[in-house]
A = this chain, B = another copy of it.
C-alpha cells in the first residue's frame, strides 16, 4: 500500500519512539485509554502501526477505538495490512471515514476507499468536497497494481514559460504538494516536457524561464505500468520520484520512492510466499480459521502429488518385500533430489526477480544447474554408497543408491532451472507452483530410479 509522506517526519527519533511504544502498550494493557489518547499525538504513525501489530487481539480492539477518534488515524490505517484495515473499517461510520480520508494524500485515501463496498464509497464521496471526490473517484478507476493506482496527484506542474521567481512563489502557495524537490514542466495541454529540480531552481536567476533550465529527458512510466516495474525503474535509476503519464504523454501524477520501497517489500513477500504455497494475506496475525482456509487447497494439491509418488513406489512392493533395505533408503534419494531442486529453483527465481536472466541466458543457466546437480550427485552419492555398504554390508546396494542419486540430482538441476523459466515464458509467476512441480518430479524420479535399479539388480541385493 503506498504511503505518500515522502518528506521526512522528523518529529520522533526511533529510539525515543520505541521507548514510547513500550509505554503505550503498557497503558493499553492497563486500560488507561485516556492517557493513550494524549500520548498518541507524540508517536510517529509508523510506530503506531508497530504497536498495533504487537498487541493481543483484545488489546488491539481497545486501542483501535482510541486511535479512530484521533486525527492521524488515517495515516496509520494506510500503513496497515489490508485484511486488518477491512476489519476496522467495518466498525467505522461513513462520516468518520470521510473525515479521515479528507486529511490523507489522495493515493492513500483511494487505497482506503478501495477496500470498501461500492455503495459505501458512493456515500462517502458525497460527504467530501467536490474536487477531492472527483480526484478520488478517478484514482480508484486505476488498478491498485498499476502506476495509476500508486500515484499521488499532489505534485507541482508548471507551464514551461513560467519564470523561476513565479515558480518559487507557487511553491510557497502549495504547502501540500508532495516531493517538492522536483517541479514538472508541462505544455498548455499538460503534456510532460521536462523536470526541474528544486536545486536548479535555487541556483537559477529569477527571470529565467523554466524551459531554459529544465532537463527535457525525463524517465517516466505509463498509467498502466505494473507496480513491480515502477518500483524497478525507481530503484534501478535511483530516482526519488517518477512521473506517470497517459498514452498521450499527459502528466497524471507521480510515484514517490517510499511507494517503491513498499512495492519491493510486498513483491518479496509474495515471491517467498508463493514458493511455500501461501496466500499473501496469510500473516502472523491472521486468525487460525482463516489461515486453514487459505492453506488447505495447497496442501490438498501436495497430497495429490505425494500420492502420485507413492503410486510409483507401489509398483515395486514385490521388490521391497524381498529387500526391505530399499524402503529404508528410498527417502534419502527423494529427499536429496528435493533439496538440490530447491537450491536450483531459488537461484533461478531470484535471478528472474532481479532481472539477471533473460531467454538468451536461460540455456546457459539450465546447463549450469544440470552440471552442478550431477557433480553434487556424484559427491554425495559416492559418500552415501560407502555408508550404505558399511551399514548393510552390500556393495551393490551402495552402487544402486549412488546411481539413483546422480540420476535424481540431474533431474533436480534440470527441472529446478527449467520449470520457473518455462512458467515465466508462459507469462505465469515463476514462483507460483514451481516448487510443487519440481518436487513431484524429484520424488517420482527418485523412487523410480532407486527402486527400478534395485528391481533390475534384485538378485544381487538379497
Verify A269–B350 contact, CB threshold 8 A: yes
Among residues of B, the one whose C-beta sits closest to the C-beta of A168 is B202
With A302-B336, A336-B299, A443-B335 as given contacts, are A351 and B284 in contact (CB-CB < 8 Å)?
Answer: yes
Among residues of B, the one whose C-beta sits closest to the C-beta of A302 is B339
With A198-B181, A240-B8, A328-B313 as given contacts, are A296 and B379 in contact (CB-CB < 8 Å)?
Answer: yes
Q: Does A145 contact B (CB under 8 A)?
A: no
A329 to chain B: which residues have CB within 8 Å? 310
Q: Does A295 contact B (CB under 8 A)?
A: yes
Stretch from A94-102, A110-118, A285-293 forming part of the interface with B: A285-293
Report the bound CA distance from A346 to B284 in whole Å: 10
Per-position contact with B for A414-453: 1 when CB-CB < 8 Å, else 0?
A: 0000000000000000000000000000010001000000
Q: Does A393 contact B (CB under 8 A)?
A: no
Among residues of B, the one whose C-beta sits closest to the C-beta of A346 is B276
Q: Does A364 contact B (CB under 8 A)?
A: yes
Verify B310–A361 contact, CB threshold 8 A: no
Chain B proximity of A310: nearest CB distance (Å):
5
Considering residues A234, A273, A376, which has the most beta carbons from chain B within 10 angstroms of its beta carbon? A376
Contact of A3 among B199, B238, B307, B345 (CB under 8 A): B238
With A181-B198, A302-B339 as given contacts, are A372 and B331 in contact (CB-CB < 8 Å)?
Answer: no
A355 to chain B: which residues have CB within 8 Å? 50, 53
Among residues of B, the one whose C-beta sits closest to the C-beta of A239 is B8
Among residues of B, the one whose C-beta sits closest to the C-beta of A218 is B10
Per-position contact with B for A369-400: 1 when CB-CB < 8 Å, else 0?
A: 00110011001100110010000000000000
Contact of A215 among B10, B237, B376, B379 (CB under 8 A): B10
Chain B proximity of A417: nearest CB distance (Å):
9
Q: Does A127 contact B (CB under 8 A)?
A: no
Report the bound CA distance from A278 to B325 in whole Å: 32
Contact of A276 among B237, B262, B343, B365 (CB under 8 A): B343
With A46-B237, A375-B292 as given contacts, are A202 and B201 in contact (CB-CB < 8 Å)?
Answer: yes
Contact of A335 among B199, B282, B309, B365 (CB under 8 A): B309
What range describes how many residues of A lie at the interface? 35 or more
Per-position contact with B for A313-355: 1 when CB-CB < 8 Å, else 0?
A: 1100110110011111111101110011011011110110011
A219 to chain B: which residues have CB within 8 Å? 8, 10, 12-14
A11 to chain B: which residues have CB within 8 Å? 215, 217
With A7-B197, A239-B8 as given contacts, are A313 and B331 in contact (CB-CB < 8 Å)?
Answer: yes
A278 to chain B: which residues have CB within 8 Å? 343, 346-347
Q: Does A44 contact B (CB under 8 A)?
A: yes
Among residues of B, the one whose C-beta sits closest to the C-beta of A194 is B10
Stretch from A32-40, A61-69, A131-139, A253-261 forming part of the interface with B: A253-261
A197 to chain B: which residues have CB within 8 Å? 7-8
With A181-B199, A219-B13, A328-B310 as given contacts, are A44 and B237 in contact (CB-CB < 8 Å)?
Answer: yes
Verify B384–A303 contact, CB threshold 8 A: yes
Contact of A299 among B236, B339, B364 (CB under 8 A): B339
Verify B307–A387 contact, CB threshold 8 A: yes
A350 to chain B: which residues have CB within 8 Å? 269, 272-273
A-B pairs with beta carbons under 8 Å apart, 8 shown: A14-B236, A198-B202, A234-B261, A257-B257, A261-B261, A288-B375, A295-B343, A299-B339
Q: Sort A-B residue pairs by CB-CB distance and give the 5 closest, nearest first.
A: A327-B327, A276-B346, A284-B351, A238-B258, A317-B324
